Each structure stands twice: as structure tokens, then as C-alpha cells.
Amino acid sequence: MATTIPDELIWPDSFPTRGHGLPPEMFDILRRERPIAPVVFPSGHRAWLVTRRTDITAIGSSRNFSRNLTCPGSQRIAGDDFNSVPGGIFNLDPPEHTTVRRIVQPFFNPAAATALQPAIALAASDLATALREGPNPADLHRAYAHPLAATLACDLMRVAPSQRRKIVPRLRSQVDYTTPAAKIDTSTRWMLDFATEVIEAKRADYDNGREPRDPVEALIRAHDQGTITAEHLHATVMYLFVTSAEPVTGPVTTGVYTLLRHGDQLARILRDPGLWPTAVAELLRLHHNGMTSMPRLALADTELQGVRIRAGDAVVTPWVAATWDPEHYKQPERFRLDRSTREDPAITFGTGPHFCLGVNIARTYLQTALSTLFTQLPDLALAAKHEDIAWEPDTYLFTRPTELPVTWS
């Protein structure tokens, strides 16, 4: 039976979930029949939803589309969340974006990821041991994925766990599109104050005569030298705390779920640990890390697929729609370790100036987290029927089960 596409789509009501952390079937229908379609988000703002990989990558790389959503009334999905804060690296376009990115890039490059790997491996090993020796069954998200990501964030930002824990209650409101506007606004202002607290504590301890030891110190020095503004400093520090743990929490929980459902593939990986990078790339292609993406604003009239996108219009480009495009990925619904090199999964991390800053650390982290867990608990299994496992709603920015019950012998 054919599905009728509404004249105007409503997120998420018009996008019934496919389940299992996979993108809604409506993306497939739109990709075939209406690849550029109007959609209304919980904020009430309207945007063009783009579902073909070629168009998504073109928009991500084009200077005709801006990531600056800080103007009052700008078309944001939820409201006055971290996308509304002026000066943050996420909300900047070149050349400002280039300037801020160069300052923090050394802490996210391949060498930085390699330097972090031993600490990630040690924390992962400790948590896997505690999991094995603790209650059985257990919630893998609570016992492993969440605390491991928090450890990474503290190591990366060089803050004490007690300090970072202050922001945890506020993070949910920043990444759930159904959070009431007043609560989002309160949370955003609180997190900016928290960023100021971190900056002042580090400034008191930082000697400008030595090289910065973390991205916050690097931003402080750049501000003191006049390279960036106070807005750049405070908003980017806030953004780094919002994104330093949550984006890698979901892929661990979701990755374990998917690997346990594909026991033959998992057995192959365990026989050949050199397949872990391939497995991580395919897990990210299959699930990405969310069902939508942050909007971009058209700076000039543009035509795509016969649709006129006018200057000032917002466009939304879900990367999981791109990585499920059958024109580029054979059997996109399948988890496969043998994909062709032409089925490039790297666009999971975006394209253009806003290509994911943390790509190197994310890949290293996920490979280490998953390989360590399955090395120490090779008999790990789901402790519930996979169809009974509840997932975060599609209004939550990141894809993951709300909990993942697991067991072992």
C-alpha cells in the first residue's frame, strides 16, 4: 500500500519510527518521490528536508548555506538551545569558524587521539571488569557506555569528574527537541555560566608562557592575544562540553546492540580484531548518531531537484538519510563488513567546513570501547528480546536505547 506524503511534514509525527535505532521509512519514500520537502519542527519553524546523499553533501560543502543560527527567530529545531549562542564554533562560518577551529584542532587531530587511547583503554578495561564482576544482568548504558564517555570528556577537557557532573542534569534539555522553550533557555544560560566558571578556574591556573594543555586553555590564550572574542571563547567552551561525551555515548550502546544481533559478524571481528575500524564505520553508517541534523540557512536563492530554496530558508540534511541512499549503498538496511570502498561511510562525520572536529577521537574511542568490552566479555548477550528494548524518541538528538540489558556467563 502506497504511503501518501503530506503537503507539509511534521517532525516527528510524520516520521513513524522503523525501530531498532534505524531511520524512518519516510526518508526512503521522500528520497524517491520528494527529495526536497517542507517540514515543521517542534519549535514551529519550517525548513526544507533533504534526503538524497548528493544534495546533502553538496549543501554541507557549499558556502551558500550558513550554520549561523544565532539571529533572533532563526529557524532552529527546538528553540533557544546551544545553536542560539553567538560565537560558538558550531554557529560560525568561515573565516571566523576557520580561526576558532585552528585554535582547538591540535587537541582533536590524529596524534591527540593516539595520545588519549591508553587512557580510554584503561578506563574501558576497568569498567568492563566491574561489569563482569557486578550484578548480572546489567544495563550496559548505565554501567559502561555512559561512565566511559564521561571519563573521556574529563580527560579531554582536563576537568575533575565532580565539576563535569554539574552539567549532566542540563544536557538532556539541550538535546531533546521537545523540551519546553523556557527550560531550554534556562539551561542554555546556566551552561554559559558553567563555561565561565571553567574558564575562570583554568585562567587562574594557566601560565601564558607555556603551551596550552587542553582546548579551553588554548581558547583562553587566543582570547588574551586578541585572536578571538569573548563570545568565541565562552560559547565554544560551552559547545565543547555539550558535545564532549553525548555524541560517543549512543554509538557504544547502539553498537553493542547491533553486534549482538549479528553474531556471525561479531564472531568474525573477534577472530580478526583488525576489522574493528571497519565495524565502527559500518555501525555509524547504519545508525549514524541521530535522525536529523542542525539546520543551515540559505544565503542565496538555490535550486535543488526542481525546488526553489530562497535566501533565508532553512534546510535540514540528515546524514543518516545520506548513508541509507541506495544509489550509493547496496542494501543500506543491512549491517555488512564487506562494503565497497566506493560506499564511503566517512560522510557520517559531515562534509565541508563543519566536518566533525572530533572525528579522530570518536573513531579511536569507539574502536577501543567496543573491542575492550568484547575482549573481556566475549560471551556478552542481550538479556531481553531485541524487539522489547526501548529507544530514545526521535525527538532526542542522539540515537540509542534508553537502556540495554545484557548478560554473560
* Separation CA 242–CA 182 (nearest Å): 19
Contact present, 239 and 84 (Cβ < 8 Å): no
Are the CB atoms for 21 and 399 separated by under 8 Å? yes
- Please tell me the distance from the alpha carbon of residue 250 to that of residue 334, in angstroms, as a whole number: 19
Beta bridge partners of residue 351, listed in sequence order: none
Instruction: Yes or no: say if 82 and 174 are a contact pair by the CB < 8 Å rule.
Output: yes
* Mean pLDDT, contiguous 10-residue spans, the chain (409 residues): 78 90 95 96 88 96 92 68 82 95 97 97 98 98 96 94 86 75 79 93 83 96 96 94 90 98 97 96 93 90 96 94 95 92 74 92 97 97 96 86 97
Q: Which three cell numbers stand for residue 245?
A: 561525551
CA–CA dist 12, 40 (Å, integer) = 9
- What is the C-alpha separation between 66 and 295, in angstroms, rounded? 9
Residue the block writes with cell 548480572: 136
Handedness of CA 343, 347, 351, 355 (dihedral sign): negative
C-alpha cell at 82: 546551544
Strands (E) in 33-78, as ranges, are 36-40, 46-50, 65-66
E runs forming strands in 236-306: 296-298, 302-304
Q: Which bin fits 288, alpha (ψ -120 to 50), beta or left (φ > 0)?
A: left
For residue 99, count other CB atoms closer than 10 A to its CB: 15
C-alpha span between 38 and 358 (Å, rounded): 31
Q: What confidence score (pLDDT) does residue 1 get?
A: 45
> Are 295 and 399 spatial neighbours (Cβ–Cβ below 8 Å)?
no
Q: Which three cell numbers stand for residue 55?
A: 544534495
Q: How far apart are CA 199 and CA 57, in angstroms?
A: 35
DSSP code, position 334? S
Q: What is the pLDDT of residue 200?
A: 94
Would you give the DSSP letter of residue 176? B
Which three cell numbers mark 83?
545553536
pLDDT (0 to 100) of residue 343: 67
The upper half-sphere exposure of residue 385, i.e. CA atoms within 13 Å in the direction of its Cβ, equals 2
Signed CA dihedral, 312, 318, 323, 327: sign only: negative
The Cα–Cα gap between 120 and 113 comes to 10
d(CA 202, CA 281): 36
Query: What number of helices (H) and strands (E) belong to the chain?
Result: 16, 11
Whole-number Å distance between alpha carbons of 202 and 75: 35
Length of the chain: 409
CA nearest to 175, candidates 48, 90, 65: 90
Contact 401, 389 (CB under 8 A): yes
pTM greater than the 0.75 cutoff:
yes
